[in-house]
Amino acid sequence: MSSEPRRQMHLNLFLMSVGHHEAAWRHPQSQPERHTDIRYYQELAQAAERAKFDSVFLADGLATWGRAAHSIVGGLEPFTFLAAVSAVTEKIGLIGTVSTTYNEPFHVARKFASLDHISGGRAGWNIVTSGGEMEAQNFNKEEHLHHHLRYQRAAEFLEVATSLWDSWDDDARLFDKASGAFADPEKVRAIEHKGEWFGVKGPLNVPRPPQGHPVLVQAGASDDGREFAARYAEAIFTAQQTLEDAQEFYRDVKTRAQKYGRDPDAIKILPGIGATIGATEAEAREKEEYLHSFINFDRGMGMLSFLLKQDISQIDLDGPVPPFPPIEEVNGMKSRTQLVDELARRENLTVRQLIKRLAGGRGHRTFAGTATQVADQLEEWFTKGAADGFNVMPPLLPGGLNEFAEGVIPELQRRGLFRTEYAGSTLREHYGLSRPRNRFEASSQSERGGENI
């Protein structure tokens, strides 16, 4: 009698220059001069593909946030980066962050459709609404759009982008040399979108992507963020510090998804994990403390001042963390501010201790231990309703990736929790996601709301 195949976790590699620890660039083994060298990232992606990761992910922001003095800033932009990575890989998914607040949907839809074609169906879009006034000031604005309005804009932005991807039927191109018909004009259509934020005629000038739509990823955990994720996201990168918090987030988002008629299993939730790995637990903790020894606490105070909305540069590092502003007064990174506040209060951390805790993952969970202990932690969260997989955030690259790939992944494979080979070639196949049906294909011309081209 056959049994159901065992559920397996999904693993995404979160690429962050020379590592996720803020002081990784100062480590003797790091090569910070390579942070804009695409060959370096191609090597990391190839290593991740050999380990059978589902995907690699490049985060992105639209400002330096005044950090250039003491940390790596100014990385490569996602579309150029991921296209270059696609050229030297075959299976691994390619996810990039792109803002809906400081872009136009036609541009973004076109670029992601292009990336999906270039990569053979491996593109994913991490949808963000951007997080601060410094980004606004790079786009001819003095103030950042209000949090709730950013999500309203994002919803319409996504509606336009998905309509544009569907503006070509899968079989629209005929390539009929004899008749001279390149495409069937009945299967390429304008979308005629007119909304509150955007007016877009269409169609897209790139045929429908191989995946139908690139995989839609989201990372916000505020109430607006959760609602947006429940309605649209197919994968969620989230930051949770405790098993209980992760379980609550997991239940909440999947419950919200049901009111939109979505299958909760069609949303893959991947909390971040920054694991420092050693041959023994003591060695792992020693490695973690060594990285902490490179922290610039003035920079850390500056980052906390940003979250606290007050200058704390003169307070005692070994004193208590000052009160955070009420969450309703925060107009950017609401969920992360709340997470840091709760972390500081729950563990009664001093300013110094909080800076060290944030240095390894910016609020994502960090852990130091052996490969087996890391696998135990991942298995517990995975089997107890807290995660469908993990956003792996090595504190130091490339060493931390190699340690995870050579130690943790074989242990997960031994337990039957992670693949030993890719079953498909697209990111949707890796994540177990269906290919979206073209919303226009079965409609009559009058229902399509637009003329054929």
Q: Domain-by-domain residue ranges, the chain?
A: 10-288+364-448
Residues contacting 2, CB < 8 A, separation 6+: none
Between CA 36 and CA 26 the distance in angstroms is: 16
- Which pLDDT belongs to residue 1? 43
Chain centroid, CA 301 distance in Å: 26
Low-confidence ranges of the chain (pLDDT < 50): 1-2, 444-450
- Which pLDDT belongs to residue 430? 98
Residues contacting 248, CB < 8 A, separation 6+: none
Residues contacting 19, CB < 8 A, separation 6+: 25, 27, 30, 394, 395, 396, 397, 400
Between CA 24 and CA 56 the distance in angstroms is: 19
- Which pLDDT belongs to residue 442? 62
Between CA 377 and CA 224 the distance in angstroms is: 29
* Sign (positive or negative) of CA dihedral 437, 442, 448, 453: positive
Segment 206-233, tens digit of pLDDT: 999 999 999 999 987 788 889 999 999 9
DSSP H or E run through 56: strand 55-58
CA angle 16/331/249 to nearest 5° reads: 65
Q: Hey, what amino acid is at 446? A: S
User: Which of 68, 57, 151 shows the shortest CA–CA distance to 401?
Assistant: 57
User: Which of 51, 123, 50, 113 shows the shortest CA–CA distance to 82?
Assistant: 123
- Which pLDDT belongs to residue 66? 65
The CATH number, out of the four listed (3.30.420.40, 3.20.20.30, 3.40.50.300, 3.40.50.620), of the domain defined by the range 10-288+364-448: 3.20.20.30
- Which pLDDT belongs to residue 356? 85
187: left (phi over 0), alpha (psi -120 to 50) or beta: alpha
